[in-house]
């Protein structure tokens, strides 16, 4: 099978633009005329320092990141952030409020799908072990028809926040890759995350997992966040790199906090350690950073995130539009309600299981790959990351329409 015969609609790691991969392959052999490949040079060389600076500057410009926030490059994937966020932010809270005991301290999670649920469970393990309370401020399953599926983001009046002065952070996942639930990006829409429910937007810091929507559209109100982060392996580059956009007051001395009773934090997980060392405390995921820089530059060369947002909007319109027709015919159910539907991960199930097999065969025959839903939810998932073009989306829509006509 050739690359050209396949359309990779997988949820991640996922397709990257082919011309970027070709350039990356050249750099793998000979980076910038050094005669050595990017994975073979020192991470302390001037060439790699330059790459790190370029990646940081390109992301800052694409996302309009204010000077109040640092851009850090970490290893360990988004899952490690589930842990590091708890450790760093409990440290910060202890430094700010040594007088508040753990039993009166809270961390708040909004659960809208598999990944925020997982993050909250790690919060319970780590914060719970030192007596800090975990509050599920809202769980969108309560608003689904069967009471156990993730079909939407919570309604605006659902959130039950802990007392702000006693809350170390508030956490949510902007795009739930497995379930296909996404918050709207504009605060004017009722399905946006309600940033305006927090008075000064400083405390408690708002932490958001943007792993599967990072660089797919602009992030408005970025200065209102304590931290935005994402693993690279969807829109940005190969797995291995996690990008953290952290407000500077979240970079705290974890050892000083430990002396006051906060948990001990491995130095490699301390955001301040990363920042103090320009993200080069230890060897970073160099190849992933290199490809991410090529991807970010490519987006910038094509006009940045605003035109990309328009392209991604059109793609999901095409797919949901085709799916609505199958839904009207009673063939499928789109898992997520309008307003909360992900632009990146479109999920649906067939109402009769035998159709599922036939549809999978139809997609396979057309070279579509990675369309099976996550094992925990079943059905289908079509991921529309940046490397998927409108032409690709049209191909998928045609497969859907042909299936409808032949059913």
Least Cα distance to 319 among 364, 376, 385, 367 occurs for 385
DSSP 357-391: HHHHHHHHHTTEES-BPPTTT-SEEEE--TTS-HH
Residue placing its CB nearer to ligand PLP in the complex, 88 or 105: 88
Q: Within 13 Å and on the Cβ side, how many CA atoms surround 312?
A: 25
Residue placing its CB nearer to ligand PLP in the complex, 226 or 231: 231
**CB proximity list for 152: less than 8 A, separation 6 or greater:** 140, 143, 144, 181, 191, 336, 337, 339, 340
The angle, 0 to 180 degrees and rounded to 10, between the axes of the packed helices 46-63 and 286-301 is 40
Residue placing its CB nearer to ligand PLP in the complex, 162 or 191: 191
Residues 77-96 that bind ligand PLP (CB under 6 A): 77-79
Which residue of the chain is nearest ligand PLP when measured via CB? 77
CB of 209 vs ligand PLP, minimal distance in Å: 5
Per CB under 6 A, does 212 bind ligand PLP? yes
In which residue are the tokens 């469970």 written? 121
Which listed residue (41, 59, 71, 173) binds ligand PLP by CB under 6 A?
A: 173
CB of 77 vs ligand PLP, minimal distance in Å: 3
Token pair in block for residue 326: 């199958």
In a 3-state reduction of DSSP, which class is residue 244?
A: strand
CB of 76 vs ligand PLP, minimal distance in Å: 7
Q: Are 384 and 315 in contact (CB under 8 A)?
A: yes
Token pair in block for residue 247: 């407000």
CB of 103 vs ligand PLP, minimal distance in Å: 30
Residue placing its CB nearer to ligand PLP in the complex, 162 or 216: 216
Residue placing its CB nearer to ligand PLP in the complex, 97 or 369: 369
Token pair in block for residue 153: 């983001």
In a 3-state reduction of DSSP, which class is residue 16?
A: coil
In a 3-state reduction of DSSP, which class is residue 292?
A: helix
Which listed residue (52, 112, 177, 270) binds ligand PLP by CB under 6 A?
A: 177
CB of 212 vs ligand PLP, minimal distance in Å: 4
Beta strands, E only, 91-240: 106-111, 133-139, 167-173, 175-176, 181-182, 206-209, 227-231
Residues 5-64 that bind ligand PLP (CB under 6 A): 12
Which listed residue (150, 209, 228, 379) binds ligand PLP by CB under 6 A?
A: 209
Whether 161 sits among the annotated catalytic residues: the reply is: no
CB of 230 vs ligand PLP, minimal distance in Å: 8
Segment near ligand PLP (CB under 6 A), from 38-46, 75-83, 317-325, 327-335? 75-83
Q: Which of 94, 108, 203, 234 is catalytic?
A: 234
Residue placing its CB nearer to ligand PLP in the complex, 205 or 231: 231
Q: Which of 108, 115, 117, 272 is catalytic?
A: 115
What's the residue count for the chain?
407
Residues 115-134 that bind ligand PLP (CB under 6 A): 115
List of residues contacting ligand PLP (CB under 6 A): 12, 77-79, 115, 173, 177, 209, 211-212, 231
> Residues with catalytic annotation?
115, 209, 234
């Amino acid at each position: 099978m050739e690359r050209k015969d396949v359309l990779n609609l997988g949820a991640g790691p996922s397709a990257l633009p082919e011309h970027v991969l070709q350039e990356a392959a050249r750099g793998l052999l000979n980076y910038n005329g050094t005669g050595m490949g990017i994975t073979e040079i020192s991470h302390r060389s001037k060439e790699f320092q330059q790459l790190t600076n370029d990646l940081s500057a390109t992301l800052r410009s694409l996302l309009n990141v204010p000077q109040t926030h640092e851009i850090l490059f970490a290893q360990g994937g988004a899952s490690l952030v589930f842990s590091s966020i708890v450790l760093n932010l409990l440290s910060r809270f202890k430094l700010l409020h040594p007088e508040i005991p753990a039993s009166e301290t809270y961390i708040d999670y909004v659960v809208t799908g598999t990944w925020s649920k997982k993050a909250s469970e790690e919060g319970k393990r780590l914060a719970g072990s030192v007596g800090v309370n975990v509050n599920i401020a809202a769980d969108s399953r309560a608003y689904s028809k069967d009471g156990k599926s993730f079909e939407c983001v919570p309604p605006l009046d659902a959130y039950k926040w802990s007392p702000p002065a006693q809350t170390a952070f508030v956490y949510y996942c902007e795009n739930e890759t497995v379930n296909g639930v996404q918050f709207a990006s504009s605060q004017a829409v009722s399905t946006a995350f309600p940033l305006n429910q927090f008075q000064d937007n400083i405390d408690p810091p708002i932490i958001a997992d943007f792993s599967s929507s990072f660089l797919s559209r602009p992030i408005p109100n970025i200065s209102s966040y304590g931290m935005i982060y994402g693993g690279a392996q969807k829109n940005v580059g190969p797995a291995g790199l996690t990008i953290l956009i952290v407000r500077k007051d979240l970079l705290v001395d974890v050892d000083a906090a430990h002396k006051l009773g906060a948990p001990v934090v491995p130095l490699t997980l301390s955001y301040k350690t990363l920042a103090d060392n320009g993200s080069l405390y230890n060897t970073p995921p160099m190849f992933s950073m290199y490809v991410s820089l090529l991807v970010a530059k490519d987006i910038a060369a094509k006009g940045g995130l605003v035109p990309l947002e328009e392209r991604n909007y059109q793609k999901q319109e095409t797919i949901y539009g085709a799916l609505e027709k199958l839904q009207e015919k009673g063939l499928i159910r789109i898992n997520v309600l309008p307003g909360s539907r992900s632009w990146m991960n479109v999920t649906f199930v067939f109402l009769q299981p035998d159709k599922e097999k036939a549809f999978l065969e139809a997609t396979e025959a057309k070279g579509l790959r990675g369309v099976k839903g996550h094992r925990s939810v079943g059905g289908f998932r079509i991921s529309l990351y940046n490397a998927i073009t409108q032409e690709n989306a049209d191909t998928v829509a045609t497969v859907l329409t042909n299936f409808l006509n032949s059913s």
